[in-house]
């Protein structure tokens, strides 16, 4: 894929910001404030660089599933980013703030795929492809200074993704209905965010269907074994050193992450 000089510069700036955990100015002015396709080209270039450096793609994340956030950014559909193996943390792990720029946390339903999602797709197809639903926390982190982002900035910046945590419980969809779950997220035991499955595009499975179709359009269909973060169930909260973020999702269980200033010795 051939990039324009502006797209290559945007990729260079965002890559440097991620590696060095430093903020960069918005990239929308160099890409064009409405050029979402160009932003995805930058995201694809950043993915290519990470894979060439040895990273392994393990799934996707869906963003902008909230109508309120879509309205804020002037868009009418979600966006997506790529999940890499080195972005995964185990439940109850410690995460270093110093490795991030301006992290925030949101609770989500994650799906594990047991089949490829290629060919004609509908809600029944994606439902049957899911082996398990898992409680998850996504650590989102805009490399753009002060979260001064539009849809172009966040798409280019891999959906403002940084890391994710999966809980230890996994449920088949015969045991839980994603759109009916209720979520409570606490920071050091104090309720900081609440929401439900319907807040995620009306149904997390609808978000998965959107992603499956969009991934096909981009020539990168979702594959068996991939993890999909389906989108926030409620408002995200800032991450601070020394705090513990915990989410309870009815029917699915819980997931926890601890933040500290520096990486564990």
Per-residue pLDDT at 93? 96
pLDDT interval class at 1 (50, 70, 90):
low
pLDDT interval class at 66 (50, 70, 90):
confident
Per-residue pLDDT at 32? 93
Q: Are 246 and 185 in contact (CB under 8 A)?
A: yes
**Section 91-113 average pLDDT:** 96
Per-residue pLDDT at 263? 72
The rounded distance, in Å, linking the Cα atoms of 39 and 120 is 27
Per-residue pLDDT at 225? 98
Per-residue pLDDT at 147? 93
Q: What would the pLDDT profile of 207-222 be if each residue is shown by its tens digit? A: 999 999 999 999 999 9
Residue 138 has pLDDT above 80, yes or no: yes
DSSP state of 178: G
DSSP state of 116: -
Q: What would the pLDDT profile of 40-51 be if each residue is shown by its tens digit? A: 999 999 999 999
Task: Say which CATH architecture domain 5-260 belongs to.
Answer: Alpha-Beta Complex (3.90)
Strands 161-166 and 88-89: parallel
């Amino acid at each position: 894929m051939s990039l324009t000089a502006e797209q290559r510069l945007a990729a260079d700036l965002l890559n440097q910001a991620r590696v060095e955990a430093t903020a960069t100015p918005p990239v929308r002015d160099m890409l064009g404030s409405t050029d979402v396709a160009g932003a995805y080209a930058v995201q694809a270039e950043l993915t290519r660089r990470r894979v060439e450096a040895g990273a392994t793609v393990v799934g996707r994340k869906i963003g902008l599933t909230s109508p309120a956030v879509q309205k804020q950014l002037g868009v009418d559909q979600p966006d997506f980013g790529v999940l890499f193996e080195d972005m995964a943390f185990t439940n109850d792990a410690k995460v270093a703030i110093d490795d991030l720029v301006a992290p925030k946390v949101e609770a989500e339903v994650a799906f594990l795929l047991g089949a490829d999602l290629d060919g004609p797709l509908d809600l029944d197809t994606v439902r049957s492809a899911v082996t398990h639903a898992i409680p998850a926390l996504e650590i989102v982190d805009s490399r753009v200074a002060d979260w001064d982002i539009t849809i172009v900035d966040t798409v280019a910046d891999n959906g403002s993704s940084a890391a994710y945590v999966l809980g230890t419980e996994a449920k088949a969809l015969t045991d839980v209905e994603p759109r009916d779950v209720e979520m409570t997220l606490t920071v050091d035991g104090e309720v900081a965010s609440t929401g439900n499955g319907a807040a995620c595009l009306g149904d997390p499975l609808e978000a998965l269907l959107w992603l499956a179709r969009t991934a096909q359009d981009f020539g990168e269909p979702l594959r068996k074994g991939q993890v999909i973060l389906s989108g926030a169930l409620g408002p995200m909260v800032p991450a601070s050193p020394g705090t513990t973020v915990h989410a309870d999702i009815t029917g699915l269980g819980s997931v926890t992450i601890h933040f500290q200033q520096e990486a564990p010795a």
